[in-house]
Amino acid sequence: MVSSITRTQGWISEGSNSKIEQSCALNLIPLPASPLFGTDGIRGKVGELLNAPLALQVGFWAGIVLHNHAAEVGPVIVGQDSRNSSDMLAMALSAGLTAAGLEVWYLGLCPTPCVAYLASMSDAIGGIMISASHNPPEDNGIKIFGANGAKLSPRLQAEIESGLRGKISFEAVVDKCGRHHSRKELIGQYREALQQPLQPTMNLQGMKIVLDLAWGAAVGLAPSVFAEMGAEVICLHNEADGDRINVNCGSTHLDILQATVIQHHADIGFAFDGDADRVLAVDNTGREINGDYILYLWGSHLQQKQQLPDNLIISTVMANLGFEKAWQQLGGNLIRTAVGDQYVQAEMLKTGGMLGGEQSGHILCRHYGITGDGLLTALHIAAVVKEAGISLSEMVDQSFQTYPQLLRNVRVLDRERRLGWQDCQPVQNAIAQAEAAMGDDGRILVRASGTEPVIRVMVEAAHAELANYWTSELVSQVQQYLG
């Protein structure tokens, strides 16, 4: 028998009406006035914005929305990183999803792209990952994917949020009880998908590779995947540790990786973030290799093999001018998007682009995957270096010189003030003054982070003195009027 449900004081109960009452409020879950979904899902400090009651409601409303938009009903795949709070949030989400009448396939500890891949390759109607990516251990987040493995569209995110706020305009009908299943064996399918494109023609034999796993989601996969491809592997921070995830390690802290690569005379080093959807590299001299260089090197490789339509790379407004000009000299095209891999992915789907990513290390290659994938990127960059027959440092030296680019994070704890920074006239005046002074020799980007309580100020200029001067001026203005 089909029964409808209504929400009363933030909880789910049986009811007799076919529509949920729109006047109902989440009395037990205070929500900020600003949108819950940022550039990478819902993210915040556990115990404040993120808690088990909210996760349960997110699971329920995500289940209702995914079900409403699915051609056929299927499971929802759930994975998590190693944070201490991830178990709690994953179980609460699963409770919400099963309350919505859905089947949950729970993977446990796994990289974010594993969830996205399995959602796209199975009968699932979506996937949810519990992770705050590169954020510190006390934070966590909820990332939701559609059945195609892409991050959920803003329209569907808005539907979930309207449910959370008691402002829905659609029916929520549950006709059965959901079930929760542990499906950790499915991670093996993702492992095979990582290796299959390179085998059997390519291996990493003779390469010594250092992996910094950030005490996070990649610890169970990355070492064995690289070893099975023939590499000699040296691992750092390679246990699941919720107290230390991302702490002075991983893609945001490269110093230990750099020192280890030099110490062991390694060919290359890779640093992942907490959920392994992004990666930065270190060459054999210990030099950082960011996403711009990764895109250039991988793009050049694909271009030579005539596997890059229109020689197109999609990147963001953060991409360095030196990278853009060098790529254009190779006959390439570069399209910039807003910061966030979801915007890169959307532009790739719109234009037919096969390679895109961010300077921070989110790299997407549609030949091999649907979303940003640190492990996949690292494997292919190692293979590009192996095939080139020269060191990564030589490849970088032959690529391009970056323009001096400074990025400063200014803490702005007031969420409303942070997200509304564009209404601050003194800051806008300072930006206009800097842009007029630098002209074509530089550019400025100021934006509120979608994942952290900071406003990011980036200045790029042909000369370091210009970048330093205007970065200091703009940071001072943001601190004075917003901080």
Residue 77 CA, chain-centre distance (Å), reads 17
Quick one: how many helices (H) and strands (E) in the chain? 15, 21
Pick from 343, 350, 354: which is nearest to 319 by CA?
A: 343
- Alpha-carbon gap, residue 24 to 289, rounded angstroms: 51
DSSP 281-332: EE-TTS-EE-HHHHHHHHHHHHHHTT-SGGGEEEEETTS-HHHHHHHHHTT-
Residue 77 C-beta-side C-alpha neighbours within 13 Å: 31
**DSSP structure string for 151-177:** BPPHHHHHHHHHHHTT---S--EE-S-
CA distance 119 to 147: 5
Rounded distance, CA 363 to CA 379, Å? 12
Q: Is 169 a catalytic residue?
A: no
Other Cβ atoms closer than 10 A to 356: 30
Length of the chain: 483
Centroid of chain to Cα 47? 22
Catalytic residue among 94, 131, 133, 300: 133
- Judge if the upstream peptide bond of residue 200 is cis by omega within 30 degrees of 0: yes
**Interatomic CA distance for residues 447 and 469, integer angstroms:** 19
Do 191 and 225 form a contact (C-beta atoms < 8 A)? yes
Amino acid at 119: A
Per-residue burial over 296-334, b if 16 or more Cβ lie within 10 Å, else e, is bbbbbbbbeeeebeebbbbbbebbbbbbbebbeeeebbb
Closest CA to 406 of 459, 346, 462: 459
Catalytic center residues = 133
